[in-house]
Each structure stands twice: as C-alpha cells, then as structure tokens.
Amino acid sequence: MQSLIKSLKVLEKVAEKQPISVGELAKMMSMPKTTVQRILWTFHEAGWLRLIEGDMPRWTVSPRVLSVRPIELAGGGLSAAVQDPMAELRNSTQETVYVSVYDGNGAVVVIDRLESPHPVRAVSPIGDIAPIHSTANGMAILAFLPESQLENILTGELSAFNPATITDADKLRAELKQVRERGYAINRGYYRSGIFAIGAPIFDAAHQPVASICISMPDSRYHEEKIAEWGALTVKAAQAIGFQRNARG
C-alpha cells in the first residue's frame, strides 16, 4: 500500500511540475533516483506518462488522464448546473469565480472557473489543489462535513502557508462555527498572502456539502463593508447550483 501511495505521489508531482527530469523529481521527493525512475517507467508503460527526449529527458503527464474524470466533471450534473450561477455571480461582483469539490483527503480541487474582467485578478488553474482548512471554498465545505470527518481534519496537521493561516484547531473550530451561522466562509489571505475570498457550500438533496463556490480577489479590492453583500450573492449562487443539480436528479 505504501508503495502505491508513493507511486501516486510521484504522478501528482509530475502533473504539478511538468516537464520535469528524474533528478529533479528525486530531489523534490527525497527519494532514490532509481526508485523514481522505476515508478516513472511503470506509469509510462501504462500510458499515463510520456518521456520528452533531449539533452536532459523530461517527463510529462499523458493525455490519457483526460479519460479519467470525477463524476463532478462528467456531462450534466454539477458541471452543467454551475454555468449560469457562476456567470451571474461573476457579473454581479466582477471578481473571479471558482467551483471546487472536496477530494476526501484534506484538500479541495478547482473544477470550474470564470475570470474577473479586471486586469489584476486572482487566478488558479482548473485542477488546482488547495488545503481545505485555509481557503474559502475549503472552509465552506469543511464547516458542514459530518462531525467525524471534521474532527479527523481538525485533529490532523493544519499546515501554515503564511502568518495568517489558522493552524490552531480551536481557533479553526470557532471560525467554522461562524461559517455555519452566516452561511459562507471568508478567507482573509489565509492561504495565499494578498488573496481574499468568500465561499459558500453547495449541498445535495441530503444536505451534504458536495462542492462550493467562491469569489476571489486581490486585497486591494477587498472591503469589509461589502462582505454581507458579497456573501449573500455567493450563497445565492450556491443555492441555485444545488437546486438545479437536485432537480436534474
């Protein structure tokens, strides 16, 4: 099992840093070069990685990964339901809008995005993985997870990404209590310094958080007096997505 997890982490690192050499991978992951080489060739034989020849051969992810999509990205369902609410939220706020899903392992993954028309804007790529405890989309989901899942995360490692990150479990519990009370999460630069966001959970028919939607902006456009307005718009978009998705069955 540990060998499988190690191999998957190599695959994830290639996806993050591609194109990348064996030596660079081995150094980043503190693994023997021979072990990394063996893992890379295994994924290559399976069709998941490809080798770019040259003076220093480098590895990239194969297009085969496009054939493996989570249900959230499949036609219809959540993917279809987010389009109109995302556009309305972006047009109302003029800020970048993201929809993310929980990966079940302490992180959220961006599955859709609409960019702000402002020349200076916060942009993360689709597929970007971010910690659930320090992002607006993450905290919006985290606050409404079943108690056992919530405690597993709160009692685990809460990594710090800058001095603003909430890493104390009790402080994070208090923050999540406020999220539940007002219906949306506020990220005051907890993950990336200078990037602020407001996110709301998207619920399924059983009132379980299946995703979240947020607006993200540089701190130069973040104003405390607009939080209630932005929060209400974000919650409205999340509710519209949930309603449409559940109506589709």
Looking at the fold, whether 62 and 93 belong to one and the same domain comes out as no
Looking at the fold, whether 91 and 106 belong to one and the same domain comes out as yes
Looking at the fold, whether 34 and 142 belong to one and the same domain comes out as no
Looking at the fold, whether 86 and 176 belong to one and the same domain comes out as yes
pLDDT at 217 over 80: yes
Q: Tell me which DSSP letter residue 226 carries.
A: G
Q: Show which of 66, 89, 113 is a domain's final residue.
A: 66
What is residue 21's three-state secondary structure?
coil
Looking at the fold, whether 197 and 122 belong to one and the same domain comes out as yes
Q: Show which of 21, 42, 66 is a domain's final residue.
A: 66
Whether pTM exceeds 0.85: no
CATH of the domain at 31: 1.10.10.10
Looking at the fold, whether 121 and 171 belong to one and the same domain comes out as yes
Q: pLDDT tens digit string along 27-79?
A: 988 889 999 899 999 988 888 888 887 778 888 887 676 556 566 555 446 77
Determine how many CB atoms are found less than 10 A away from the CB of residue 104: 8
Query: pLDDT at position 167, please?
Result: 95
Handedness of CA 187, 189, 195, 196 (dihedral sign): positive
The string over 173-210, giving b where at least 16 C-beta atoms fall within 10 Å of a residue's C-beta and e elsewhere, is eebbeebeeebbbbbebbbbeebbbbbbbbbeeeeebb
Looking at the fold, whether 188 and 145 belong to one and the same domain comes out as yes
Looking at the fold, whether 120 and 209 belong to one and the same domain comes out as yes
Quote the number of domains for the chain: 2
Mean pLDDT of the chain: 87
What is residue 163's three-state secondary structure?
coil
Q: Is 239 left (phi over 0), alpha (psi -120 to 50) or beta?
A: alpha
Q: What are the φ/ψ torsions at residue 78 (nearest 5 degrees)? A: -60, -40
Looking at the fold, whether 127 and 229 belong to one and the same domain comes out as yes
Looking at the fold, whether 45 and 83 belong to one and the same domain comes out as no
- How far CA 151 is from CA of 143, 161, 172, 187, in Å, comes to 11, 21, 11, 20
CA distance 116 to 96: 4
Range among 62-66, 209-213, 214-218, 245-249 rated most confident: 214-218
CATH of the domain at 171: 3.30.450.40
Query: pLDDT at position 206, please?
Result: 82
How many alpha carbons lie under 13 Å from residue 175 in its C-beta half-sphere?
A: 23
CA distance 139 to 31: 33
Q: pLDDT tens digit string along 65-87?
A: 655 656 655 544 677 788 899 99
